[in-house]
Amino acid sequence: MRRVLLSLSICLGLVACSDDHVDRPSHKVTVSSSDYRPAKQLFGAMKTSSTGSSEAFGSYSKGCVGGAVQLPETGPTWQAMRLSRNRNWGHTTLIDFVKDLSRKAAAQPGWAGIYVGDMSQPRGGPMLTGHASHQMGLDVDFWMLPPKRLDLTVAERENLSSISTRRAKGAYVNDSWTPQHHEVLKAAASDPRVARIFVFPGAKVQMCNDEKGDRAWLNKIRPWYGHHYHFHVRLKCPKGDRACVDQAPPPAGDGCADAEKWVQDILDPPPPKPRDPNAPPPKPKAEITMASLPAQCSSVLSSQ
pLDDT for res 22: 60
pLDDT for res 167: 97
Residue 131's pLDDT band (cuts 50, 70, 90)? confident
What is the CATH number assigned to the segment(s) 47-276?
Answer: 3.30.1380.10
pLDDT in tens, 101-127: 999 999 999 999 999 999 999 999 999
Residues 296 and 64 sit within 8 Å (Cβ to Cβ): yes
pLDDT in tens, 159-206: 999 999 999 999 999 999 999 999 999 999 999 999 999 999 999 999
Residue 33's pLDDT band (cuts 50, 70, 90)? low
pLDDT in tens, 198-225: 999 999 999 999 999 999 999 999 999 9
Residues 262 and 223 sit within 8 Å (Cβ to Cβ): yes
Q: Which of 229, 188, 68 is nearest to 134 (CA)?
A: 68
Is pLDDT larger for residue 228 or for residue 15? 228
Residue 258's pLDDT band (cuts 50, 70, 90)? very high
DSSP classification of residue 31: B
pLDDT for res 25: 59
The Cα–Cα gap between 184 and 114 comes to: 10
Residue 155's pLDDT band (cuts 50, 70, 90)? very high
pLDDT for res 304: 79
pLDDT for res 23: 61
Amino acid in position 24 = R
- How many Å is the maximal CA-CA distance in the chain? 60
For residue 40, give the H/E element and its range.
Answer: helix 39-44
For the four alpha carbons of 185, 189, 195 and 199, in that order, the dihedral sign comes to: positive
The Cα–Cα gap between 261 and 3 comes to: 21
Torsion of CA 193, 198, 201, 206, to 10 degrees: -40
Residue 6's pLDDT band (cuts 50, 70, 90)? very low
pLDDT for res 17: 39
Amino acid in position 114 = I
Name 292's Cβ contacts closer than 8 Å, sequence gap at least 6.
31, 39, 62, 286
Residues 30 and 62 sit within 8 Å (Cβ to Cβ): no
Domains in the chain: boundaries? 47-276
Is pLDDT larger for residue 20 or for residue 131? 131
Residue 286 has pLDDT above 90, yes or no: no
DSSP classification of residue 178: -
Share of the chain above pLDDT 70, in %: 89
- 114-116 and 78-80: which strand pairing? parallel
